[in-house]
């Protein structure tokens, strides 16, 4: 299995958009994304900050994606 990449919120959002997710609303710096099949999660977009490994794993679980799939989408 691939090691988790260090990515920022905007990079993760663009990868999720390639996977079929779309931003449904934004509240502050939190972008709520949803897939057509009902999967959804929240991605924090803070300038200059990477998403921590624990949060990234939780987002991937919510989106039903693997680390390898994320690497392909980036």
CATH number for 24: 3.30.920.30
Paired residues of 66 in beta bridges: none
Is 65 a domain residue? Answer: yes
**CA 21, 42, 28, 72 torsion-angle sign:** negative
Domain residues for 60? 9-73
The yes-or-no verdict on residue 2 having pLDDT over 80 is no
Is 69 a domain residue? Answer: yes
Is 3 a domain residue? Answer: no
Paired residues of 42 in beta bridges: 32
Identify how many contiguous H helices and E strands the chain contains and give both numbers.
3, 3
pLDDT band at 1 (very low <50, low <70, confident <90, very high): low
Is 4 a domain residue? Answer: no
The structural domain count of the chain equals: 1
Is 1 a domain residue? Answer: no
pTM: 0.86
């Amino acid at each position: 299995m691939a090691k988790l990449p260090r990515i920022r919120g905007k990079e993760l959002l663009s990868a999720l958009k390639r996977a079929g997710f779309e931003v449904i609303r934004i509240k502050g710096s939190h972008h709520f994304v949803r897939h057509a099949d009902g999967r959804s999660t929240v991605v924090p977009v803070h300038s200059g900050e990477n998403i921590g490994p624990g949060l990234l794993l939780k987002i991937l679980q919510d989106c039903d994606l693997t680390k390898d799939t994320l690497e392909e989408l980036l």
